[in-house]
Amino acid sequence: MRNCKEVTEYDTSGSATVAFRPIETETGKVRYSGEISQAATMKMNGNGSAAEMQAKVMKPLIEKLTEALASKI
């Protein structure tokens, strides 16, 4: 199975949204699709640096995405 992901929103003030569609490799059919949003887990320092976005927004978003995919497989 392939997993197609697309970042649909990335806001340096502390939020991001990812859309995903797991696709059967053999058939090319989409098994299901979804979207996950995440706001910063802590107050952003104001500059929205890459390291801050990774730690406070993207890491929790990836953890949510992993849980969502694991529950569907």
Running DSSP on this structure, what letter comes out for residue 59?
H
In angstroms, the Cα distances linking 59 to 30, 32, 55 are 25, 23, 6
Instruction: State yes or no: pLDDT of 6 exceeds 80.
Output: no
Q: What is the pLDDT of residue 5?
A: 64
Could you read off the pLDDT of 7-51 as tens digits, one per residue? 777 787 889 999 888 888 888 888 888 899 999 988 888 676 888
Residues 10, 36: Cα–Cα separation, whole Å: 12
Q: What is the pLDDT of residue 59?
A: 94
Could you read off the pLDDT of 47-69 as tens digits, one per residue? 768 888 889 999 999 999 999 88
